[in-house]
């Protein structure tokens, strides 16, 4: 029998502990870590846990640099009263970005502690050693003083961040600190927060609300329709924002369903069947050439063979397993909001704008939600809770329904990518002309009420602030040795559904299009797809992942056949954002004849993320990104009718299940001498393309619209 220490990672529990008025200047050591008299280390991270295990990785980095055991470290994440402003936790960048900060702060702290020990022990610092949170004489371990005794009031010093950690990190698999809490029923999520007095709220939405403000308006509601309900029902209305508050959760659910509301007739949404005609007909708000060299038009005209193709991607949902939830307590002079937001400071500022309050009076405390994979409903539900709490003067918890989440969470937007490419006589790339058409992938709170869904309902027509255009073009520039090329982005207005950031943003689409076209070109050249890629890759780390995945997948051996079925395999490669992690994938599929059902049998990944901090945690992330990307590639698209999203339940928005999940094999190429790169999203980007290429290999049919599905009979022999 084993026993476990359940984790204690929620900011909410730590908020009860005194840290005084914290100065959060980022150059101060004390901003990032504190050591208590009992030797316990608290790390303060502005980046938050999103279910990927980064809390554990950051604890590992701090523990290694300080010289303390991992279980002596507690990580406080995302609290505007306790942690520095690090913006949003996004882009698989927490280990990459915050790791060096913590490593540097902890190394500076350790040097100060050793200096203090030197005075205490009357011994030169260079003759002292650190073991398990104590400084002792190297030759006489009995002459020792603990970190707890040395820490005193803190460090009072500043430090500089070494951009690349000089010392290797732990590099050892550490079990997740938060798992025991989740496996024994501890308070783990914002959903589990129970304040002593807490009412329950629900929000009633109009049918449709496009980001441009077009859509149904609130005409009237009939308060008498909930008169007979118990639970001290209160109705809250501000503009088109309409909600109910009740004593108990089930009472709020019933009241929201029962309240009779009249909405105006909204304009029709673009027909889903004509989504891509609509998208491709939108006026371009900005055309930007990302890179261009060598005269691509001439090169295309002179190419011996060319392809000209368009790849298309539908709206997709983050589809977090737990619908968004928040608790807010808005009092006249102070506001506390508990939220699974990816950015406590941007949300705080947006709530200040929404409530008309001074941001300094608002404290936003991160508590985990079900993993979000990007900008889902987490911020919006916090605004819902804040408006309801302000109206009733008590703390209010709001949890969205499954249908709320599918209908209203910001979506991965539909995208369309056109590639014209040509080969020279030798079958090598001669021209590459690539244009991605995309709306914004960034409509996070950004300190503005209008970016919160409730803000749109209160002030219809206020444009969303999308200060950051990027994202749609992520991974549009591959690292292949390109001859004449032009890579451009056409930004178009936001579509019928609000769009924002979803795992790798446009990277998933750009990598899929790029890597599928590379296969189309390899086929045109009559060259093996692995060999074709290697012909155009000179970066040795890129070549290494391609060669490794091919070897591990048995690329040169024929696939075992399945009687009567079509089998195929495909490869994809990419370097994330052209400058971070490298990954290559080989997918194997089986396609049933005539019916055309596609089964993903196996995916092999080779990945190089530089220095690996937590190998098992990294493997877990890679596995998860493979399965989610496979689900997106094969199954997922948001559907709607004239007025409303219609994929509102798991029946209408199926995701990959246990019986469909592929076998997964992973080769990690650890490079301890290299900086750690973000690890998760690069895998998502290669998995989709490898699947598309495998289907083409199996059937001879090139699918260019996601989700990849064959019409029944499409692969039947003619």
Partner 1 sequence: MTPENVQITVNGQRHTVAAAPATPLLYVLRNELELNSPRFGCGLGRCGACLVLIDGQAAWSCLVPVGEIGDAAVTTLEGLGTPEAPHSLQDAFIAEQAAQCGYCTPGMIMRAAALLAATPHPDEETIRTALAGNLCRCGVQQRIVRAVRRAAEAQP
Site for partner 1, rule CB under 8 A: 1-6, 50-53, 175-176, 178-180, 182-189, 191-192, 194, 229-231, 248-251, 254, 319-323, 368-371, 373, 399, 401-402, 616-617, 620-621, 623-628, 631, 649-651, 655-659, 661, 663-664
Q: Shortest approach of partner 1 to residue 594 CB, angstroms?
A: 25
Stretch (H or E) spanning 327: strand 325-330
Q: Where are the beta strands (DSSP E) in 103-190?
A: 128-131, 134-137, 144-146
Q: Shortest approach of partner 1 to residue 633 CB, angstroms?
A: 13
Radius of gyration of the chain (CA): 27
What is the CB-side half-sphere exposure of residue 562 using CA atoms within 13 A?
13
Residue 66 or residue 226: which is nearer to partner 1 going by CB? 226
Stretch (H or E) spanning 382: helix 378-392
Residue 168 or residue 615: which is nearer to partner 1 going by CB? 615
Say how far apart CA 244 and CA 233 lie, in whole Å: 7
Residue 322 or residue 570: which is nearer to partner 1 going by CB? 322
Say how far apart CA 134 and CA 123 lie, in whole Å: 15
Residue 54 or residue 365: which is nearer to partner 1 going by CB? 54
Residue 56 or residue 699: which is nearer to partner 1 going by CB? 56
Q: Shortest approach of partner 1 to residue 2 CB, angstroms?
A: 6
**Which residues in 138-153 are b (16+ Cβ under 10 Å) and which e?**
eeeeebbbbbbbbbee
Helix crossing, 615-634 with 680-699: angle to 10°? 40
> Six-digit token pair at 359?
């941001």
Under 8 Å between Cβ of 270 and 281: no
Interstrand relation of 286-293 and 260-263 (parallel, antiparallel or unpaired): unpaired
Q: Shortest approach of partner 1 to residue 402 CB, angstroms?
A: 4
Stretch (H or E) spanning 76: strand 73-77
Q: Shortest approach of partner 1 to residue 177 CB, angstroms?
A: 11
Hunting for tokens 């994440």 — which residue is that?
77
The dihedral through the CA atoms of 259, 265, 267, 272 has a sign that is: positive
Say how far apart CA 463 and CA 442 lie, in whole Å: 14
Q: Shortest approach of partner 1 to residue 626 CB, angstroms?
A: 7
Residue 258 or residue 305: which is nearer to partner 1 going by CB? 258
Residue 320 or residue 456: which is nearer to partner 1 going by CB? 320
Residue 529 or residue 624: which is nearer to partner 1 going by CB? 624
Q: Shortest approach of partner 1 to residue 184 CB, angstroms?
A: 5
List Cβ neighbours of 108 (8 Å cut-off, separation of 6 or more).
29, 155, 157, 159
Q: Shortest approach of partner 1 to residue 244 CB, angstroms?
A: 12
Report the helix count and the strand count for the chain, using DSSP H and E. 18, 24
Residue 64 or residue 626: which is nearer to partner 1 going by CB? 626
Residue 55 or residue 429: which is nearer to partner 1 going by CB? 55
Under 8 Å between Cβ of 706 and 312: yes
Q: Shortest approach of partner 1 to residue 191 CB, angstroms?
A: 7
Q: Shortest approach of partner 1 to residue 670 CB, angstroms?
A: 18
Under 8 Å between Cβ of 356 and 426: no
Q: Shortest approach of partner 1 to residue 630 CB, angstroms?
A: 8
The dihedral through the CA atoms of 123, 129, 135, 136 has a sign that is: negative
Residue 24 or residue 661: which is nearer to partner 1 going by CB? 661
Hunting for tokens 């998502």 — which residue is that?
684
Residue 131 or residue 649: which is nearer to partner 1 going by CB? 649
Say how far apart CA 432 and CA 123 lie, in whole Å: 66
Q: Shortest approach of partner 1 to residue 212 CB, angstroms?
A: 30
Q: Shortest approach of partner 1 to residue 388 CB, angstroms?
A: 17
Hunting for tokens 């209010």 — which residue is that?
396
Say how far apart CA 625 and CA 580 lie, in whole Å: 17
Residue 343 or residue 617: which is nearer to partner 1 going by CB? 617
Burial of 489 (0-12, 13-18, 19+ CB in 10 A): buried
């Amino acid at each position: 029998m084993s026993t476990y220490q359940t984790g204690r990672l929620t900011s909410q529990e730590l908020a009860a502990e005194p840290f005084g008025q914290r100065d959060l200047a980022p150059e101060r050591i004390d901003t990032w870590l504190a050591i208590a008299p009992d030797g316990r280390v608290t790390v303060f991270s502005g980046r938050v846990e999103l279910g990927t295990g980064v809390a554990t990785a950051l604890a590992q980095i701090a523990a290694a640099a300080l010289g303390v055991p991992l279980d002596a470290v507690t990580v406080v994440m995302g609290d505007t009263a306790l942690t520095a402003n690090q913006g949003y936790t996004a882009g698989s960048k927490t280990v990459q970005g915050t790791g060096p900060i913590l490593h540097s702060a902890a190394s500076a702290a350790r040097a100060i502690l050793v200096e203090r020990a030197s005075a205490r022990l009357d011994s030169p610092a260079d003759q002292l050693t650190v073991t398990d949170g104590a400084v002792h004489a190297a030759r006489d371990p009995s002459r020792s003083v603990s970190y707890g005794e040395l820490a005193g009031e803190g460090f009072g010093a500043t430090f500089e961040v070494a951009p690349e950690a000089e010392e290797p990190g732990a590099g050892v698999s550490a079990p997740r600190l938060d798992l025991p809490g989740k496996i024994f029923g501890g308070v783990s999520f914002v959903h589990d927060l129970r304040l002593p007095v807490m009412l329950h709220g629900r929000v009633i939405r109009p049918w449709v609300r496009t980001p441009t403000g077009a859509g149904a308006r609130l005409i009237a509601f009939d308060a008498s329709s909930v008169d007979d309900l118990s639970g001290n029902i209160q109705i809250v209305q501000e503009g088109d924002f309409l909600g109910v508050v009740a004593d108990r959760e089930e009472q709020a659910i019933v009241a929201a369903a029962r309240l009779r509301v009249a909405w105006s007739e909204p304009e029709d949404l673009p027909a889903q069947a004509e989504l891509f005609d609509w998208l491709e007909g939108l006026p371009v708000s900005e055309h930007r050439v990302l890179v261009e060299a060598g005269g691509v038009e001439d090169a295309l005209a002179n190419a011996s063979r060319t392809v000209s193709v368009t790849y298309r991607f539908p709206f997709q949902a983050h589809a977090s397993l737990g619908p968004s939830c928040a608790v807010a307590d808005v009092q006249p002079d102070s506001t506390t909001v508990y939220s699974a937001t990816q950015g406590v400071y941007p949300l705080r500022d947006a709530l200040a704008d929404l409530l008309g309050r001074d941001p300094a009076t608002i404290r936003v405390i991160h508590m985990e939600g079900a993993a979000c994979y990007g900008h889902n409903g987490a911020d919006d539900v916090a605004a819902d809770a804040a408006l309801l709490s302000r109206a009733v003067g008590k703390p209010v918890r709001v949890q969205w329904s499954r249908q709320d989440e599918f209908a209203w969470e910001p979506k991965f937007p539909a995208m369309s990518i056109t590639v014209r490419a040509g080969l020279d006589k030798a079958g090598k790339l001669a021209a590459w002309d690539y244009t991605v058409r995309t709306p914004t992938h960034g409509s996070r709170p950004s300190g503005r009420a209008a970016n919160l869904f409730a803000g749109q309902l209160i002030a219809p027509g206020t444009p969303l602030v999308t200060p950051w255009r990027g994202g749609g073009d992520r991974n549009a520039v591959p690292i292949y040795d390109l001859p004449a090329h032009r890579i451009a982005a056409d930004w178009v207005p936001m579509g019928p559904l609000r769009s924002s950031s979803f795992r790798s943003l446009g990277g998933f689409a750009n990598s899929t299009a790029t890597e599928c076209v590379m296969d189309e070109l390899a086929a045109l050249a009559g060259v093996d797809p692995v060999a074709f890629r290697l012909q155009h890759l000179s970066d040795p780390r890129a070549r290494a992942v391609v060669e490794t995945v091919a070897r591990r997948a048995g690329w040169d051996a024929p696939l075992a056949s399945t009687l009567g079925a079509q089998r195929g395999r495909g490869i994809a490669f990419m370097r994330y954002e052209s400058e971070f992690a490298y990954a290559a994938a080989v997918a194997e599929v089986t396609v049933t004849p005539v019916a055309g059902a596609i089964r993903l049998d196996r995916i092999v990944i080779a990945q190089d993320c530089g220095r690996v901090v937590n190998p098992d945690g990294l493997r877990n992330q890679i596995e998860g990104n493979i399965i989610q990307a496979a689900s997106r590639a094969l199954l997922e698209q948001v559907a709607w009718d004239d007025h409303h999203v219609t994929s509102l339940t798991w029946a209408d928005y199926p995701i990959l299940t246990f019986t469909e999940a592929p076998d997964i094999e992973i080769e990690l190429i650890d490079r301890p001498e290299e900086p750690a790169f973000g690890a998760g999203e690069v895998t998502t980007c290669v998995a989709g393309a490898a699947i598309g290429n495998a289907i083409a290999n199996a059937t001879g049919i090139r699918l260019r619209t996601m989700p990849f599905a064959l019409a029944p009979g499409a692969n039947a022999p003619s």
